[in-house]
Amino acid sequence: MEGGVSTMSFEEKLNDWQRRTAAATDKRPERKSEFLNHSDIPIQRLYTSQDSVQSEEDYLQRLGFPGEYPYTRGIQPTMYRTRYWTMRQYAGFGSAEETNTRFRYLLEQGQTGLSTAFDLPTQIGYDADHPMSVGEVGKVGVSISSIVDMDTLLNQIPLDRVSTSMTINAPASVLLAMYLVVAERQGVPWQKVSGTIQNDILKEYVARGTYIFPPKPSMRLITDIFDFCAREVPNWNTISISGYHIREAGSTAVQEVAFTLANAIAYVEAATKAGLQIDNFAPRLSFFFNAHNDFFEEIAKFRAARRMWAKIMKERFGAKNPRSLQLRFHTQTAGSTLTAQQPDNNVVRVTVQAMAAVLGGTQSLHTNSRDEALALPTEASARLALRTQQILAHESGLTDTIDPLGGSYYVEALTDALEAKAWQYIEYIDGLGGAVEAITEGYMQQEIHRAAYDTQQAIERGQQVVVGVNQFTTAREPEPELLRVDPQLGRKQTESLAKLRSERPVEPHRRALAKLKETAEGTGNLMPVVIDAVRAYATIGEICDVLRDVFGEYRPSVF
Protein backbone atom coordinates (compact mmCIF):
# COMPACT_ATOMS: atom_id res chain seq x y z
CA MET A 1 0.00 0.00 0.00
CA GLU A 2 1.31 3.46 -0.91
CA GLY A 3 -0.59 6.48 0.40
CA GLY A 4 -3.57 4.25 1.18
CA VAL A 5 -3.84 3.01 -2.43
CA SER A 6 -3.34 -0.68 -3.13
CA THR A 7 -0.57 -1.62 -5.57
CA MET A 8 -2.00 -5.07 -6.14
CA SER A 9 -3.06 -5.92 -9.68
CA PHE A 10 -6.64 -6.87 -10.45
CA GLU A 11 -5.68 -10.53 -10.76
CA GLU A 12 -3.90 -10.41 -7.41
CA LYS A 13 -6.94 -8.82 -5.81
CA LEU A 14 -9.17 -11.50 -7.29
CA ASN A 15 -6.90 -14.25 -5.95
CA ASP A 16 -6.85 -12.51 -2.59
CA TRP A 17 -10.66 -12.45 -2.56
CA GLN A 18 -10.69 -16.19 -3.35
CA ARG A 19 -8.24 -16.93 -0.49
CA ARG A 20 -9.73 -14.69 2.20
CA THR A 21 -13.33 -13.65 1.62
CA ALA A 22 -14.64 -16.57 -0.42
CA ALA A 23 -12.66 -19.15 1.51
CA ALA A 24 -14.29 -17.96 4.72
CA THR A 25 -17.54 -19.53 3.53
CA ASP A 26 -16.03 -22.80 2.32
CA LYS A 27 -16.87 -24.48 5.63
CA ARG A 28 -20.43 -24.32 4.31
CA PRO A 29 -20.12 -26.29 1.06
CA GLU A 30 -21.85 -25.08 -2.08
CA ARG A 31 -24.96 -26.92 -3.25
CA LYS A 32 -23.03 -28.84 -5.92
CA SER A 33 -19.47 -29.89 -6.48
CA GLU A 34 -19.76 -28.55 -10.04
CA PHE A 35 -22.28 -26.19 -11.57
CA LEU A 36 -23.16 -26.95 -15.20
CA ASN A 37 -25.94 -25.55 -17.35
CA HIS A 38 -28.03 -27.77 -19.65
CA SER A 39 -25.43 -27.47 -22.42
CA ASP A 40 -22.72 -28.78 -20.05
CA ILE A 41 -21.02 -25.39 -19.90
CA PRO A 42 -19.32 -24.96 -16.50
CA ILE A 43 -20.69 -22.04 -14.50
CA GLN A 44 -18.01 -20.22 -12.53
CA ARG A 45 -18.54 -18.97 -9.00
CA LEU A 46 -17.85 -15.39 -10.10
CA TYR A 47 -17.45 -13.57 -13.40
CA THR A 48 -15.39 -10.42 -13.80
CA SER A 49 -14.17 -8.18 -16.59
CA GLN A 50 -11.46 -10.76 -17.29
CA ASP A 51 -14.19 -13.11 -18.55
CA SER A 52 -15.86 -10.49 -20.71
CA VAL A 53 -15.11 -7.64 -23.11
CA GLN A 54 -11.50 -6.58 -22.63
CA SER A 55 -11.17 -3.39 -24.68
CA GLU A 56 -13.01 -0.94 -26.90
CA GLU A 57 -11.70 -2.78 -29.97
CA ASP A 58 -12.87 -6.08 -28.53
CA TYR A 59 -16.27 -4.53 -27.82
CA LEU A 60 -16.72 -3.33 -31.41
CA GLN A 61 -15.64 -6.67 -32.84
CA ARG A 62 -17.72 -8.95 -30.60
CA LEU A 63 -20.70 -6.83 -29.64
CA GLY A 64 -20.98 -3.70 -31.75
CA PHE A 65 -23.87 -1.29 -31.41
CA PRO A 66 -27.54 -2.23 -31.76
CA GLY A 67 -28.60 -2.26 -35.41
CA GLU A 68 -25.01 -2.76 -36.61
CA TYR A 69 -22.83 -5.77 -37.41
CA PRO A 70 -22.44 -8.26 -35.77
CA TYR A 71 -25.88 -7.51 -34.24
CA THR A 72 -25.05 -9.14 -30.90
CA ARG A 73 -26.95 -6.37 -29.10
CA GLY A 74 -29.99 -6.44 -31.41
CA ILE A 75 -30.97 -5.88 -35.02
CA GLN A 76 -32.83 -2.60 -34.42
CA PRO A 77 -30.98 0.58 -33.37
CA THR A 78 -33.51 1.44 -30.66
CA MET A 79 -35.19 -1.95 -30.11
CA TYR A 80 -38.26 -1.74 -27.85
CA ARG A 81 -37.86 1.97 -27.10
CA THR A 82 -39.45 2.52 -30.51
CA ARG A 83 -41.76 -0.48 -30.90
CA TYR A 84 -42.62 -3.48 -28.77
CA TRP A 85 -42.19 -6.98 -30.12
CA THR A 86 -45.18 -8.44 -31.98
CA MET A 87 -47.42 -10.25 -29.51
CA ARG A 88 -48.35 -13.21 -31.65
CA GLN A 89 -50.30 -15.84 -29.70
CA TYR A 90 -50.42 -19.26 -31.35
CA ALA A 91 -54.06 -20.27 -31.81
CA GLY A 92 -56.10 -22.77 -33.75
CA PHE A 93 -58.51 -25.56 -32.91
CA GLY A 94 -61.65 -27.20 -34.22
CA SER A 95 -63.32 -25.55 -37.18
CA ALA A 96 -62.35 -22.44 -39.10
CA GLU A 97 -65.34 -20.67 -37.52
CA GLU A 98 -64.18 -21.45 -33.96
CA THR A 99 -60.61 -20.37 -34.65
CA ASN A 100 -61.77 -17.17 -36.37
CA THR A 101 -63.73 -16.35 -33.20
CA ARG A 102 -60.58 -16.93 -31.08
CA PHE A 103 -58.49 -14.83 -33.50
CA ARG A 104 -60.84 -11.88 -33.28
CA TYR A 105 -61.09 -12.22 -29.51
CA LEU A 106 -57.30 -12.12 -29.12
CA LEU A 107 -57.01 -9.09 -31.42
CA GLU A 108 -59.66 -7.33 -29.34
CA GLN A 109 -57.59 -8.14 -26.23
CA GLY A 110 -54.54 -6.39 -27.65
CA GLN A 111 -52.72 -9.13 -29.59
CA THR A 112 -50.78 -7.55 -32.45
CA GLY A 113 -50.34 -10.47 -34.85
CA LEU A 114 -51.92 -13.84 -35.63
CA SER A 115 -50.23 -17.23 -35.37
CA THR A 116 -52.08 -20.21 -36.80
CA ALA A 117 -51.97 -23.80 -35.57
CA PHE A 118 -53.23 -26.41 -38.04
CA ASP A 119 -54.46 -29.89 -37.22
CA LEU A 120 -52.39 -32.95 -38.14
CA PRO A 121 -54.32 -33.85 -41.32
CA THR A 122 -53.71 -30.33 -42.68
CA GLN A 123 -50.04 -30.49 -41.69
CA ILE A 124 -49.45 -33.68 -43.68
CA GLY A 125 -51.62 -32.77 -46.65
CA TYR A 126 -54.79 -34.79 -46.07
CA ASP A 127 -58.35 -33.54 -46.39
CA ALA A 128 -60.64 -33.86 -43.38
CA ASP A 129 -62.53 -36.74 -45.06
CA HIS A 130 -59.42 -38.86 -45.72
CA PRO A 131 -59.27 -42.18 -43.80
CA MET A 132 -55.97 -41.05 -42.22
CA SER A 133 -57.77 -38.04 -40.73
CA VAL A 134 -60.25 -39.99 -38.63
CA GLY A 135 -60.08 -38.90 -35.00
CA GLU A 136 -57.61 -36.08 -35.68
CA VAL A 137 -59.74 -33.38 -37.31
CA GLY A 138 -59.39 -30.12 -35.41
CA LYS A 139 -57.62 -31.73 -32.47
CA VAL A 140 -54.26 -29.93 -32.30
CA GLY A 141 -55.13 -27.04 -34.58
CA VAL A 142 -57.68 -25.76 -37.04
CA SER A 143 -58.92 -28.00 -39.87
CA ILE A 144 -58.31 -26.44 -43.30
CA SER A 145 -59.09 -28.44 -46.43
CA SER A 146 -59.99 -25.81 -49.02
CA ILE A 147 -60.19 -22.12 -49.86
CA VAL A 148 -63.68 -22.16 -48.35
CA ASP A 149 -62.18 -23.01 -44.95
CA MET A 150 -59.47 -20.37 -45.34
CA ASP A 151 -62.08 -17.75 -46.26
CA THR A 152 -63.92 -18.57 -43.05
CA LEU A 153 -60.75 -18.61 -40.96
CA LEU A 154 -59.83 -15.08 -42.07
CA ASN A 155 -63.32 -13.60 -42.05
CA GLN A 156 -63.22 -9.95 -40.89
CA ILE A 157 -59.41 -10.09 -40.51
CA PRO A 158 -57.93 -7.16 -42.51
CA LEU A 159 -54.99 -8.79 -44.27
CA ASP A 160 -53.42 -5.45 -45.20
CA ARG A 161 -53.11 -4.55 -41.50
CA VAL A 162 -52.71 -7.84 -39.61
CA SER A 163 -49.58 -9.96 -39.96
CA THR A 164 -50.21 -13.72 -39.88
CA SER A 165 -47.82 -16.54 -39.09
CA MET A 166 -48.72 -20.07 -40.20
CA THR A 167 -47.03 -23.10 -38.66
CA ILE A 168 -47.09 -25.23 -41.79
CA ASN A 169 -44.24 -27.02 -43.51
CA ALA A 170 -44.67 -29.78 -46.10
CA PRO A 171 -47.80 -28.20 -47.66
CA ALA A 172 -46.66 -24.61 -46.98
CA SER A 173 -47.06 -23.63 -50.63
CA VAL A 174 -50.73 -24.66 -50.55
CA LEU A 175 -51.59 -22.74 -47.37
CA LEU A 176 -49.71 -19.68 -48.61
CA ALA A 177 -51.64 -19.93 -51.89
CA MET A 178 -54.93 -20.06 -49.98
CA TYR A 179 -53.92 -17.03 -47.92
CA LEU A 180 -53.05 -15.03 -51.04
CA VAL A 181 -56.31 -15.96 -52.76
CA VAL A 182 -58.25 -14.77 -49.69
CA ALA A 183 -56.29 -11.51 -49.85
CA GLU A 184 -57.32 -11.17 -53.51
CA ARG A 185 -60.94 -11.65 -52.52
CA GLN A 186 -60.57 -8.96 -49.86
CA GLY A 187 -59.13 -6.62 -52.50
CA VAL A 188 -55.74 -6.54 -50.74
CA PRO A 189 -52.73 -6.39 -53.12
CA TRP A 190 -50.14 -9.06 -52.40
CA GLN A 191 -47.55 -6.29 -51.94
CA LYS A 192 -49.42 -5.25 -48.78
CA VAL A 193 -49.73 -8.73 -47.33
CA SER A 194 -47.32 -9.57 -44.50
CA GLY A 195 -46.70 -12.68 -42.46
CA THR A 196 -44.66 -15.86 -42.22
CA ILE A 197 -44.91 -19.49 -43.22
CA GLN A 198 -42.74 -21.88 -41.25
CA ASN A 199 -41.80 -23.82 -44.42
CA ASP A 200 -38.86 -25.50 -42.65
CA ILE A 201 -38.88 -29.09 -43.82
CA LEU A 202 -35.41 -30.10 -42.63
CA LYS A 203 -36.34 -29.84 -38.97
CA GLU A 204 -39.39 -32.02 -39.72
CA TYR A 205 -37.05 -34.85 -40.69
CA VAL A 206 -34.99 -34.16 -37.56
CA ALA A 207 -37.49 -33.52 -34.81
CA ARG A 208 -41.15 -33.15 -35.66
CA GLY A 209 -42.29 -35.62 -38.31
CA THR A 210 -44.92 -33.77 -40.37
CA TYR A 211 -43.14 -34.33 -43.67
CA ILE A 212 -44.65 -35.57 -46.93
CA PHE A 213 -42.09 -35.53 -49.74
CA PRO A 214 -38.40 -36.56 -49.88
CA PRO A 215 -35.76 -33.88 -49.23
CA LYS A 216 -34.91 -32.97 -52.83
CA PRO A 217 -38.44 -32.04 -54.04
CA SER A 218 -39.14 -30.50 -50.64
CA MET A 219 -36.17 -28.18 -51.09
CA ARG A 220 -37.47 -27.34 -54.55
CA LEU A 221 -40.83 -26.28 -53.09
CA ILE A 222 -39.03 -24.07 -50.59
CA THR A 223 -36.79 -22.34 -53.13
CA ASP A 224 -39.80 -21.86 -55.44
CA ILE A 225 -41.51 -19.99 -52.59
CA PHE A 226 -38.36 -17.88 -52.02
CA ASP A 227 -38.30 -16.92 -55.69
CA PHE A 228 -42.03 -16.29 -56.04
CA CYS A 229 -42.36 -14.14 -52.93
CA ALA A 230 -39.25 -12.08 -53.71
CA ARG A 231 -41.07 -11.00 -56.87
CA GLU A 232 -44.76 -11.03 -55.88
CA VAL A 233 -45.13 -10.87 -52.07
CA PRO A 234 -42.13 -8.79 -50.91
CA ASN A 235 -43.25 -8.38 -47.28
CA TRP A 236 -43.78 -12.08 -46.66
CA ASN A 237 -41.26 -14.04 -44.58
CA THR A 238 -40.74 -17.08 -46.76
CA ILE A 239 -39.37 -19.38 -44.09
CA SER A 240 -39.14 -19.54 -40.32
CA ILE A 241 -36.11 -21.71 -39.72
CA SER A 242 -37.03 -23.44 -36.54
CA GLY A 243 -34.97 -24.39 -33.55
CA TYR A 244 -38.11 -24.52 -31.45
CA HIS A 245 -39.05 -28.08 -32.35
CA ILE A 246 -35.45 -29.24 -32.15
CA ARG A 247 -35.42 -28.01 -28.55
CA GLU A 248 -38.85 -29.50 -27.84
CA ALA A 249 -37.49 -32.86 -29.02
CA GLY A 250 -34.89 -32.68 -26.25
CA SER A 251 -31.85 -30.84 -27.61
CA THR A 252 -29.60 -28.58 -25.59
CA ALA A 253 -29.47 -24.83 -26.21
CA VAL A 254 -26.18 -25.27 -28.09
CA GLN A 255 -27.69 -27.95 -30.34
CA GLU A 256 -30.73 -25.77 -30.95
CA VAL A 257 -28.56 -22.95 -32.28
CA ALA A 258 -26.13 -25.16 -34.19
CA PHE A 259 -28.68 -27.40 -35.92
CA THR A 260 -30.96 -24.48 -36.77
CA LEU A 261 -28.15 -22.50 -38.36
CA ALA A 262 -26.86 -25.62 -40.16
CA ASN A 263 -30.33 -26.07 -41.66
CA ALA A 264 -30.38 -22.39 -42.60
CA ILE A 265 -27.06 -22.78 -44.39
CA ALA A 266 -28.57 -25.66 -46.38
CA TYR A 267 -31.54 -23.52 -47.45
CA VAL A 268 -29.30 -20.66 -48.54
CA GLU A 269 -27.06 -23.05 -50.48
CA ALA A 270 -30.08 -24.62 -52.20
CA ALA A 271 -31.45 -21.21 -53.16
CA THR A 272 -28.16 -19.93 -54.57
CA LYS A 273 -27.69 -23.21 -56.44
CA ALA A 274 -31.15 -22.67 -57.97
CA GLY A 275 -29.91 -19.32 -59.30
CA LEU A 276 -31.36 -16.94 -56.71
CA GLN A 277 -29.28 -13.92 -55.72
CA ILE A 278 -28.43 -13.92 -52.02
CA ASP A 279 -29.56 -10.37 -51.28
CA ASN A 280 -32.85 -10.88 -53.14
CA PHE A 281 -34.16 -13.57 -50.79
CA ALA A 282 -32.03 -13.49 -47.62
CA PRO A 283 -33.71 -10.41 -46.07
CA ARG A 284 -36.98 -12.38 -45.83
CA LEU A 285 -35.48 -15.36 -44.00
CA SER A 286 -36.64 -15.55 -40.40
CA PHE A 287 -36.03 -17.84 -37.44
CA PHE A 288 -38.05 -19.42 -34.64
CA PHE A 289 -36.48 -20.25 -31.29
CA ASN A 290 -37.49 -21.76 -27.99
CA ALA A 291 -37.31 -19.92 -24.66
CA HIS A 292 -36.44 -22.45 -22.00
CA ASN A 293 -36.05 -22.28 -18.23
CA ASP A 294 -32.36 -21.44 -17.80
CA PHE A 295 -32.78 -17.68 -17.85
CA PHE A 296 -29.23 -16.55 -18.59
CA GLU A 297 -28.43 -19.41 -20.95
CA GLU A 298 -31.44 -18.48 -23.09
CA ILE A 299 -30.48 -14.81 -23.27
CA ALA A 300 -26.94 -15.77 -24.24
CA LYS A 301 -28.30 -18.24 -26.81
CA PHE A 302 -30.24 -15.55 -28.66
CA ARG A 303 -27.27 -13.19 -28.68
CA ALA A 304 -24.88 -15.92 -29.90
CA ALA A 305 -27.25 -16.99 -32.68
CA ARG A 306 -27.58 -13.42 -33.90
CA ARG A 307 -23.80 -12.93 -34.03
CA MET A 308 -23.20 -16.29 -35.71
CA TRP A 309 -25.79 -15.69 -38.44
CA ALA A 310 -24.30 -12.29 -39.26
CA LYS A 311 -20.88 -13.92 -39.65
CA ILE A 312 -22.26 -16.78 -41.76
CA MET A 313 -24.06 -14.49 -44.17
CA LYS A 314 -21.20 -12.02 -44.48
CA GLU A 315 -18.20 -14.32 -44.52
CA ARG A 316 -19.60 -17.55 -45.98
CA PHE A 317 -22.13 -16.24 -48.49
CA GLY A 318 -20.84 -12.73 -49.18
CA ALA A 319 -24.15 -10.99 -48.54
CA LYS A 320 -23.93 -7.20 -48.92
CA ASN A 321 -27.37 -6.01 -47.83
CA PRO A 322 -27.30 -5.40 -44.04
CA ARG A 323 -30.79 -6.88 -43.80
CA SER A 324 -29.41 -10.17 -45.15
CA LEU A 325 -27.14 -10.35 -42.10
CA GLN A 326 -29.84 -9.75 -39.51
CA LEU A 327 -31.25 -12.75 -37.68
CA ARG A 328 -34.91 -11.88 -37.12
CA PHE A 329 -36.68 -14.35 -34.88
CA HIS A 330 -39.94 -15.30 -33.25
CA THR A 331 -39.85 -16.94 -29.85
CA GLN A 332 -42.24 -19.33 -28.16
CA THR A 333 -41.97 -20.33 -24.55
CA ALA A 334 -41.09 -23.96 -23.96
CA GLY A 335 -44.02 -26.34 -24.23
CA SER A 336 -41.85 -29.22 -23.05
CA THR A 337 -41.34 -27.52 -19.66
CA LEU A 338 -45.08 -27.26 -18.94
CA THR A 339 -46.39 -29.71 -16.37
CA ALA A 340 -49.78 -31.35 -15.99
CA GLN A 341 -49.16 -31.34 -12.24
CA GLN A 342 -49.87 -27.99 -10.53
CA PRO A 343 -50.58 -26.26 -13.87
CA ASP A 344 -50.64 -22.79 -12.29
CA ASN A 345 -46.87 -23.16 -11.84
CA ASN A 346 -46.65 -22.90 -15.63
CA VAL A 347 -47.60 -19.23 -15.43
CA VAL A 348 -44.36 -18.58 -13.53
CA ARG A 349 -42.29 -20.71 -15.92
CA VAL A 350 -43.72 -18.91 -18.94
CA THR A 351 -43.05 -15.50 -17.38
CA VAL A 352 -39.38 -16.34 -16.79
CA GLN A 353 -39.04 -17.70 -20.32
CA ALA A 354 -40.77 -14.67 -21.85
CA MET A 355 -38.44 -12.33 -19.96
CA ALA A 356 -35.46 -14.21 -21.39
CA ALA A 357 -36.86 -13.79 -24.91
CA VAL A 358 -37.37 -10.05 -24.42
CA LEU A 359 -33.93 -9.53 -22.88
CA GLY A 360 -32.51 -11.61 -25.74
CA GLY A 361 -34.05 -9.25 -28.31
CA THR A 362 -36.89 -11.22 -29.91
CA GLN A 363 -38.99 -9.67 -32.71
CA SER A 364 -42.19 -11.50 -31.81
CA LEU A 365 -43.32 -13.73 -28.98
CA HIS A 366 -45.86 -16.38 -28.08
CA THR A 367 -46.43 -17.16 -24.42
CA ASN A 368 -47.82 -20.63 -23.71
CA SER A 369 -50.96 -21.05 -21.65
CA ARG A 370 -50.94 -22.70 -18.23
CA ASP A 371 -53.17 -25.63 -19.29
CA GLU A 372 -51.35 -26.70 -22.48
CA ALA A 373 -49.86 -29.80 -20.86
CA LEU A 374 -53.44 -31.02 -20.54
CA ALA A 375 -55.34 -29.68 -23.57
CA LEU A 376 -55.61 -26.82 -26.01
CA PRO A 377 -55.90 -23.57 -24.03
CA THR A 378 -59.21 -22.22 -22.85
CA GLU A 379 -60.11 -18.64 -23.68
CA ALA A 380 -59.29 -17.55 -20.13
CA SER A 381 -55.87 -19.24 -20.23
CA ALA A 382 -55.06 -17.73 -23.62
CA ARG A 383 -55.99 -14.28 -22.28
CA LEU A 384 -53.75 -14.71 -19.23
CA ALA A 385 -50.85 -15.77 -21.46
CA LEU A 386 -51.32 -12.62 -23.54
CA ARG A 387 -51.57 -10.48 -20.39
CA THR A 388 -48.18 -11.88 -19.34
CA GLN A 389 -46.61 -10.30 -22.41
CA GLN A 390 -48.47 -7.05 -21.93
CA ILE A 391 -47.33 -6.74 -18.32
CA LEU A 392 -43.72 -7.33 -19.36
CA ALA A 393 -44.04 -4.70 -22.08
CA HIS A 394 -45.88 -2.01 -20.18
CA GLU A 395 -45.10 -2.50 -16.48
CA SER A 396 -41.72 -4.18 -15.99
CA GLY A 397 -39.23 -1.61 -17.34
CA LEU A 398 -37.52 -4.32 -19.40
CA THR A 399 -38.07 -2.32 -22.57
CA ASP A 400 -36.72 1.05 -21.48
CA THR A 401 -33.12 0.53 -22.54
CA ILE A 402 -31.50 -1.50 -25.32
CA ASP A 403 -29.97 -4.86 -24.41
CA PRO A 404 -29.92 -4.19 -20.65
CA LEU A 405 -27.78 -7.26 -19.92
CA GLY A 406 -25.19 -6.37 -22.54
CA GLY A 407 -21.84 -6.06 -20.80
CA SER A 408 -22.82 -8.43 -18.00
CA TYR A 409 -19.66 -10.38 -17.27
CA TYR A 410 -21.64 -13.58 -16.99
CA VAL A 411 -23.87 -13.05 -20.03
CA GLU A 412 -20.98 -12.10 -22.30
CA ALA A 413 -18.88 -15.06 -21.16
CA LEU A 414 -21.84 -17.40 -21.60
CA THR A 415 -22.58 -15.96 -25.07
CA ASP A 416 -19.00 -16.68 -26.10
CA ALA A 417 -19.11 -20.22 -24.67
CA LEU A 418 -22.39 -21.07 -26.41
CA GLU A 419 -21.11 -19.70 -29.69
CA ALA A 420 -17.85 -21.67 -29.49
CA LYS A 421 -19.68 -24.96 -28.86
CA ALA A 422 -22.21 -24.24 -31.62
CA TRP A 423 -19.42 -23.60 -34.14
CA GLN A 424 -17.96 -27.01 -33.29
CA TYR A 425 -21.25 -28.65 -34.27
CA ILE A 426 -21.52 -26.65 -37.50
CA GLU A 427 -17.96 -27.53 -38.49
CA TYR A 428 -18.67 -31.21 -37.87
CA ILE A 429 -21.89 -31.04 -39.93
CA ASP A 430 -19.96 -29.31 -42.73
CA GLY A 431 -17.54 -32.23 -42.61
CA LEU A 432 -20.43 -34.65 -43.11
CA GLY A 433 -21.47 -32.76 -46.25
CA GLY A 434 -24.00 -30.36 -44.73
CA ALA A 435 -27.32 -30.51 -42.94
CA VAL A 436 -29.15 -32.72 -45.45
CA GLU A 437 -26.42 -35.35 -45.28
CA ALA A 438 -26.25 -35.08 -41.48
CA ILE A 439 -30.01 -35.68 -41.30
CA THR A 440 -29.85 -38.55 -43.78
CA GLU A 441 -27.16 -40.23 -41.67
CA GLY A 442 -29.19 -39.63 -38.51
CA TYR A 443 -26.49 -37.53 -36.85
CA MET A 444 -28.72 -34.70 -35.64
CA GLN A 445 -31.44 -37.10 -34.54
CA GLN A 446 -29.00 -39.18 -32.50
CA GLU A 447 -27.51 -36.12 -30.80
CA ILE A 448 -30.96 -34.87 -29.82
CA HIS A 449 -32.04 -38.31 -28.58
CA ARG A 450 -28.92 -38.52 -26.41
CA ALA A 451 -29.53 -35.07 -24.90
CA ALA A 452 -33.20 -35.85 -24.27
CA TYR A 453 -32.29 -39.13 -22.56
CA ASP A 454 -29.72 -37.42 -20.33
CA THR A 455 -32.29 -34.81 -19.28
CA GLN A 456 -34.92 -37.41 -18.47
CA GLN A 457 -32.40 -39.41 -16.45
CA ALA A 458 -31.44 -36.30 -14.48
CA ILE A 459 -35.11 -35.62 -13.68
CA GLU A 460 -35.79 -39.19 -12.63
CA ARG A 461 -32.73 -39.23 -10.36
CA GLY A 462 -33.81 -35.93 -8.82
CA GLN A 463 -30.64 -34.17 -10.01
CA GLN A 464 -32.79 -31.77 -12.05
CA VAL A 465 -35.69 -30.43 -10.03
CA VAL A 466 -39.09 -29.95 -11.66
CA VAL A 467 -41.29 -28.22 -9.12
CA GLY A 468 -44.52 -30.11 -8.56
CA VAL A 469 -43.26 -33.22 -10.36
CA ASN A 470 -40.24 -34.68 -8.59
CA GLN A 471 -40.18 -32.24 -5.67
CA PHE A 472 -42.74 -30.09 -3.84
CA THR A 473 -45.62 -32.33 -4.92
CA THR A 474 -49.17 -32.35 -3.58
CA ALA A 475 -51.35 -35.39 -2.93
CA ARG A 476 -54.51 -34.12 -4.59
CA GLU A 477 -54.91 -31.48 -7.24
CA PRO A 478 -58.13 -29.82 -8.44
CA GLU A 479 -59.36 -30.69 -11.94
CA PRO A 480 -58.93 -27.61 -14.17
CA GLU A 481 -61.51 -26.57 -16.74
CA LEU A 482 -60.32 -27.76 -20.16
CA LEU A 483 -61.23 -26.94 -23.75
CA ARG A 484 -63.00 -29.77 -25.59
CA VAL A 485 -63.09 -30.06 -29.39
CA ASP A 486 -66.46 -31.01 -30.89
CA PRO A 487 -66.26 -34.80 -31.53
CA GLN A 488 -68.65 -34.36 -34.48
CA LEU A 489 -66.29 -31.98 -36.27
CA GLY A 490 -64.91 -34.69 -38.58
CA ARG A 491 -68.40 -35.55 -39.81
CA LYS A 492 -69.25 -31.87 -40.34
CA GLN A 493 -66.05 -31.23 -42.28
CA THR A 494 -66.70 -34.33 -44.43
CA GLU A 495 -70.17 -33.04 -45.29
CA SER A 496 -68.76 -29.62 -46.14
CA LEU A 497 -66.17 -31.17 -48.48
CA ALA A 498 -68.81 -33.27 -50.22
CA LYS A 499 -70.81 -30.11 -50.88
CA LEU A 500 -67.75 -28.31 -52.24
CA ARG A 501 -66.89 -31.16 -54.61
CA SER A 502 -70.44 -31.37 -55.93
CA GLU A 503 -70.75 -27.62 -56.58
CA ARG A 504 -67.34 -26.55 -57.94
CA PRO A 505 -66.86 -26.22 -61.73
CA VAL A 506 -65.42 -29.50 -62.97
CA GLU A 507 -63.33 -28.43 -65.97
CA PRO A 508 -61.30 -25.60 -64.33
CA HIS A 509 -60.53 -27.95 -61.45
CA ARG A 510 -59.38 -30.73 -63.79
CA ARG A 511 -57.22 -28.37 -65.86
CA ALA A 512 -55.61 -26.82 -62.77
CA LEU A 513 -54.53 -30.19 -61.37
CA ALA A 514 -53.28 -31.33 -64.78
CA LYS A 515 -51.15 -28.17 -65.05
CA LEU A 516 -49.85 -28.73 -61.53
CA LYS A 517 -48.76 -32.28 -62.46
CA GLU A 518 -47.09 -31.07 -65.64
CA THR A 519 -45.17 -28.35 -63.79
CA ALA A 520 -44.12 -30.71 -60.99
CA GLU A 521 -42.71 -33.11 -63.59
CA GLY A 522 -40.75 -30.24 -65.13
CA THR A 523 -38.67 -27.45 -63.61
CA GLY A 524 -41.03 -24.45 -63.53
CA ASN A 525 -41.93 -22.56 -60.36
CA LEU A 526 -44.78 -24.40 -58.63
CA MET A 527 -46.30 -21.47 -56.74
CA PRO A 528 -48.35 -19.95 -59.62
CA VAL A 529 -49.92 -23.31 -60.52
CA VAL A 530 -50.69 -24.10 -56.87
CA ILE A 531 -52.44 -20.73 -56.61
CA ASP A 532 -54.45 -21.51 -59.76
CA ALA A 533 -55.45 -24.88 -58.28
CA VAL A 534 -56.64 -23.16 -55.11
CA ARG A 535 -58.65 -20.69 -57.18
CA ALA A 536 -60.27 -23.69 -58.88
CA TYR A 537 -61.33 -25.04 -55.46
CA ALA A 538 -58.82 -27.88 -55.38
CA THR A 539 -58.38 -29.13 -51.82
CA ILE A 540 -55.14 -29.46 -49.91
CA GLY A 541 -55.38 -33.25 -50.20
CA GLU A 542 -55.94 -33.15 -53.96
CA ILE A 543 -53.01 -30.81 -54.53
CA CYS A 544 -50.70 -32.84 -52.27
CA ASP A 545 -51.80 -36.10 -53.90
CA VAL A 546 -50.71 -34.77 -57.31
CA LEU A 547 -47.33 -33.90 -55.82
CA ARG A 548 -47.14 -37.28 -54.05
CA ASP A 549 -47.65 -39.02 -57.39
CA VAL A 550 -44.76 -37.06 -58.92
CA PHE A 551 -42.35 -36.72 -55.97
CA GLY A 552 -43.12 -39.80 -53.90
CA GLU A 553 -43.29 -39.85 -50.10
CA TYR A 554 -40.46 -39.76 -47.60
CA ARG A 555 -39.82 -42.86 -45.52
CA PRO A 556 -37.33 -42.29 -42.69
CA SER A 557 -34.50 -44.69 -41.97
CA VAL A 558 -34.29 -46.28 -38.54
CA PHE A 559 -31.26 -45.08 -36.58
State the DSSP code for 239: E
Q: Which of 248, 180, 158, 263 is nearest to 218 (CA)?
A: 263
Compute CA distances 354 → 71, 155, 390, 405, 414, whole Å. 21, 30, 11, 15, 19
Q: What is the distance in angstroms between the CA of the first residue and the CA of the last residue of the chain?
A: 66
pTM of the shown model: 0.93
Kindly state whether residue 68 falls inside one of the protein's structural domains. yes
What's the CA gap between 400 and 149, in Å, rounded? 42
- Which helix (H) or strand (E) element contains residue 288? strand 285-291
Total domains in the fold of the chain: 1
Could you tell me if residue 295 is left (phi over 0), alpha (psi between -120 and 50 degrees) or otherwise beta? alpha
Kindly state whether residue 156 falls inside one of the protein's structural domains. yes
Q: Which of 541, 554, 545 is nearest to 121 (CA)?
A: 541
C-beta separation of 89 from 367 below 8 A? yes
- Structural domain that includes position 75: 56-461
| Alpha carbon 397 to chain centroid, angstroms | 26
Kindly state whether residue 157 falls inside one of the protein's structural domains. yes
Kindly state whether residue 40 falls inside one of the protein's structural domains. no
How many beta carbons lie within 10 A of that of residue 521, not counting itself? 11
Kindly state whether residue 483 falls inside one of the protein's structural domains. no
* CATH number reported for the structural domain that contains residue 440 in this entry: 3.20.20.240
Kindly state whether residue 552 falls inside one of the protein's structural domains. no
CB environment 385-402: b (16+ within 10 A), e (fewer): bbebbeebbeeeeebeeb
- Which helix (H) or strand (E) element contains residue 388? helix 379-395
C-beta separation of 106 from 386 below 8 A? yes
Kindly state whether residue 536 falls inside one of the protein's structural domains. no
Q: Kindly tell me the sign of the dihedral angle through the C-alpha atoms of 141, 237, 519, 149.
A: positive
What value, to the nearest 5°, has the Cα angle with vertex 265 and ends 331 and 68? 60
Kindly state whether residue 356 falls inside one of the protein's structural domains. yes
**pLDDT digit string (tens) for the chain, length 559 residues:** 445 566 889 889 889 888 888 877 767 788 888 899 989 999 998 999 888 887 888 899 999 999 999 999 999 999 999 999 999 988 899 999 999 999 999 999 999 999 999 999 999 999 999 999 999 999 999 999 999 999 999 999 999 999 999 999 999 999 999 999 999 999 999 999 999 999 999 999 999 999 999 999 999 999 999 999 999 999 999 999 999 999 999 999 999 999 999 999 999 999 999 999 999 999 999 999 999 999 999 999 999 999 999 999 999 999 999 999 999 999 999 999 999 999 999 999 999 999 999 999 999 999 999 999 998 899 999 999 999 999 999 999 999 999 999 999 999 999 999 999 999 999 999 999 999 999 999 999 999 999 999 999 999 999 999 999 999 999 887 888 888 888 899 999 999 999 999 999 999 999 999 999 999 999 999 999 999 999 999 999 999 999 999 999 999 876 6
